[in-house]
Amino acid sequence: MIKSIIRGTGKFVPPNLVTNKDLEKILDTSDEWIQQRTGIKQRYWVSPEGVTGASDLGFEAAKQALDAAGWTAEDLDFIIFATLSPDIMFPGCGCLMAAKLGLNSTPALDIRQQCTGFLYGFATADAYIKTGLAKKVLLVGGEVHSSGLDKSTRGRDVTVIFGDGAGALCIEGVDTKDCGLLASALHADGNYADSLMTELPASRLPHRNPPGLPLDDPRYFPVMDGPSIFKKAVRLLPKVTKEVLEKAGIGLDEVDLVVPHQANKRINQAFGQFLKLPEDKIFHNIEKYGNTTAASIPLALHEAIEQGRTGKSGETVLFVALGAGLTWGASLYRFL
């Protein structure tokens, strides 16, 4: 049976380190508040002078993943790019990154599912592989949040959590059994779209950028009802975990490591407590990178493998995420 197997991973963050102390200098916050409420100590933001889009960060992570897989870009027959912060309105980052990889006809698809983008991307890659539409897929999550954040005290709840970065996976269809992507469970509820969104520019308006609006109008920046998203995450992430375990027909005790979306360390700790998971079964790197949205799971997976926390044949990882949309989901992967 054809299964989707991870052949290589990659990660990239821009060199510009921004600590919580740096943020104290530009808005009313404190290192103590950020660490206590989120677990974040620092994040990387692209240089404000440079011209760096999500596809540039994705390109760097993609090159690493290709090297790790022993593939060249020409080996790819499908590209999926997950981002909420595309370089430009259109075309999508998948096309832009494919051109940077030197490709000129490989199909490329963008996914706009925010923090759940990686899970939707992996499930999509799997569907393409299982239906024979693709064999070697590059899945990238990449975000440049920093150029779109409200860096005044008004936006502090959102601005302190987001970091820029990218993660990439090379995924291949292999005839095998009992390993690869075992199951995915995906959900969306657009009734809560306004609990986390950036409203402008908006095609639903007569002018996408309404004339006369100041550039610091709050609608140009992400706004979030943090406490309500937090509560939804704590309730829905364990629920979707049970769903995906049932789909795969395995028990939680068979999961060796959870690599969750890195939105808030407290969310992942509450998730672990609810499911009675030992602390060392949950991988965290939010302290170094903040929330890199679609990049966060592939970036965390890359580090977990690098650190020897997962990646051995037969080991099973659970991915789980919730984000804007609302979107949420989980998937289970077993290494070949």
Write out the catalytic residue numbers. 115, 261, 291
Q: 115 vs 299, which CB is nearer to ligand ACO?
A: 115
Site string for ligand ACO, 152-181 (x = CB under 6 A): ----xx--xx--------------------
Q: 34 vs 125, which CB is nearer to ligand ACO?
A: 34
Note whether 230 binds ligand ACO by CB under 6 A. Answer: yes
Pick from 203, 214, 205, 134: nearest CA to 174: 134
- Among 19, 24, 33, 63, which residue sits at the site for ligand ACO (rule: CB under 6 A)? 33
- In terms of C-beta density within 10 A (0-12 exposed, 13-18 middle, 19 or more buried), how is residue 99 classed? middle
Cβ at position 5, least distance to ligand ACO in Å: 28
Note whether 229 binds ligand ACO by CB under 6 A. Answer: yes
Pick from 192, 197, 222: nearest CA to 326: 192
Q: Which of the stretches 32-40, 53-61, 164-172, 309-317 binds ligand ACO when contact is defined by CB under 6 A? A: 32-40
Cβ at position 322, least distance to ligand ACO in Å: 6
Note whether 233 binds ligand ACO by CB under 6 A. Answer: yes
Pick from 121, 161, 171, 127: nearest CA to 142: 121
Neighbours of 275 (CB within 10 A): 18
Neighbours of 25 (CB within 10 A): 8
Note whether 38 binds ligand ACO by CB under 6 A. Answer: yes
Q: 36 vs 176, which CB is nearer to ligand ACO?
A: 36
Can you point out the beta strands (E) in 176-326? Answer: 180-188, 196-197, 223-224, 257-260, 316-323
Instruction: Kindly identify the residues of this chain, within the stretch 252-311, that bind ligand ACO according to CB under 6 A.
Output: 263-264, 267, 291, 293
- Among 66, 115, 123, 129, which residue sits at the site for ligand ACO (rule: CB under 6 A)? 115
Note whether 324 binds ligand ACO by CB under 6 A. Answer: yes
- How far are the Cα atoms of 9, 76, 141 from residue 54, in angstroms, in the given order? 17, 20, 9
Note whether 37 binds ligand ACO by CB under 6 A. Answer: yes
Q: Cα(121)–Cα(11) distance, rounded to whole angstroms?
A: 16
Contact in structure between 251 and 245 (CB atoms under 8 Å): yes
- Among 10, 173, 323, 329, which residue sits at the site for ligand ACO (rule: CB under 6 A)? 323
Cβ at position 67, least distance to ligand ACO in Å: 29
Peptide bond into 91 cis (omega under 30): yes
Q: 43 vs 156, which CB is nearer to ligand ACO?
A: 156
Note whether 192 binds ligand ACO by CB under 6 A. Answer: no
Q: Work out whether the CA dihedral 116, 92, 53, 84 comes out positive or negative.
A: negative
Neighbours of 246 (CB within 10 A): 12
| Count of residues in contact with ligand ACO, rule CB under 6 A | 24
Cβ at position 245, least distance to ligand ACO in Å: 22
Q: Cα(283)–Cα(308) distance, rounded to whole angstroms?
A: 12
Q: 269 vs 316, which CB is nearer to ligand ACO?
A: 269
Q: Which of the stretches 31-39, 85-93, 99-107, 247-255 binds ligand ACO when contact is defined by CB under 6 A? A: 31-39
Residue 89 sits at the vertex; the CA angle it makes with 128 and 53, to the nearest 5 degrees, is 85
Tracing tokens 């795969």 back to the chain, one arrives at: 248
Contact in structure between 80 and 125 (CB atoms under 8 Å): yes
- Contacts with ligand ACO by CB under 6 A lie at 29, 33-34, 37-38, 114-115, 156-157, 160-161, 196, 226-227, 229-230, 233, 263-264, 267, 291, 293, 323-324
